[in-house]
Amino acid sequence: MNFELPQEYRLLNESIERFAREELMPLEPAVLQREAQGQGSELTHAEQARIDAKAKELGFWGLDCPEELGGSDLPFLAMVGVHERLAYSAVHYEFSPDSANARMLLLNGNEMQKAQYLAPYVRGEIRGAIVISEPGAGADPSGMATRAVRDGDHYVINGRKIWISFLGNADFGLVMARTGDQRGARDGISAFIVDTKTPGFKIERRIPMLGGRFTYEVVFEDCHVPAGNLLGVEGKGFDPMKDRLGSRRIQMASWCIGRAQRALDMMCDYAPQRKTFGQPLADRQAIQWWIADAATRIHACRLMVQDAAWRLDNGVDAKSQLSMVKTFATEMSWEVIDHAMQLFGGMGMTKEMPLHLMATEARLMRVYEGPNEVHRMVVARNALAGAR
């Protein structure tokens, strides 16, 4: 078994690492200052536009999108390193388009939908968001109550959604709604592409989250959506969702590796310098074990994520592996970053360092895209079914 990445992926990783150090990390002081003042940790429009322009100039647009749409058609395995290196900076930034949403459109959209939404999405001309969770249906989306009723050449959507990321700047949402009558079943749920400026699509509130991030609550009130905006087959909305979730979980696990690697590097830089009772922290066994455990778990996690990505690229079942990496990576990064905060002592508790943003993002990801407890249920169920 060859564990060495192809040279083209290694060269790409070096380019992304340089991009993160030169374009993202210099923005950390400004982002940290805004977050400390209660203004959030998101990039300003000017910062976003400048970095987007640089990324596009360097050819980082649409990396995992088809070449005919202007992308580079990179596989999941190549994107692991891309996401990891972008996440080395505490400044949250993603190349356009969002990998998970783009894949959902790519694999399930018809030609009209790809031309109207996916192509400009890849070019960075529009932005999208996924609109699934509801106040009473988060981890178990089969409990969703939002309804879409066919009315001639339109569907009329009514309901409420919550915890929607990136909706403030989105031009369209990938909305899940019930088209069948059986509440509590996954069959009968459909996916729709909905322009956010459609009458009846109302952002109710912006919700402050940990780490200066925001999510949104949205209400649908007689929101008329063209029937042509049905994504995939009516009543089979979970099929497009499955394509999206695999991509997102690979992405999240890769982010966790990047954050944890940054925390480990910070520990390794600081521990030899800081002395307590006449001895460098690097000579203390507790610190050495924190560093050793961090290095070991990061290495194990990277191999797990690469294996899951390889499975997706080769059409091999990866359901258990995706749940494993989502759980393992988010908990690994939380513990590594927590030890880094402890090592830095008082400074580790301040908002002048990036560690608190990294920690809160790791904490958020233990809930986002399915709570870790649900993923453990998936792994256990599959393991028990295959027990011999």
Rounded Cα–Cα distance for residues 165 and 146 (Å): 18
* Cα gap 205→217, rounded to integer Å: 5
Following DSSP, what letter does each residue of 338-356 receive, concatenated?
A: HHHHHHTGGGGGSSSSTHH
201 phi and psi angles, rounded to 5 deg: -95, 100
- Distances, alpha carbon 250 to alpha carbons 233, 247, 268, 329, 331, in Å: 26, 5, 27, 10, 15
Identify the residue whose tokens are 């028990």.
384
Contacts of 114 (CB under 8 A, 6+ apart): 69, 105, 106
The answer to whether the peptide bond before residue 97 is cis (omega within 30 degrees of 0) is yes
Cα–Cα distance, 88 to 256 (Å, whole number)? 9
Contact by Cβ (8 Å): 132, 161: yes
Buried b (16+ CB within 10 A) or exposed e, 117-145: bbbbbbbbebbbbbbbbbeebbeebeebe
Please give the angle made by the CA atoms of 290, 370 and 125, to the nearest 5 degrees: 100
Label each residue of 122-144 as H, E or C.
Answer: HCCCCCEEEECCECCECCCHHHC
Q: With DSSP H G I counted as helix, E B as strand and the rest as coil, what are the percentages for the chain, rounded to 5?
A: 55, 15, 30
- Cα 201 to Cα 277: distance, rounded to the nearest angstrom: 62
Task: Tell me the sheet residues that pair with 158.
Answer: 147
Residue type, 140: D
32 phi and psi angles, rounded to 5 deg = -65, -40
d(CA 32, CA 354): 7
Q: Is 369 one of the catalytic residues?
A: yes
Catalytic residue among 14, 335, 369, 373: 369
- Which residues are marked as active site? 369
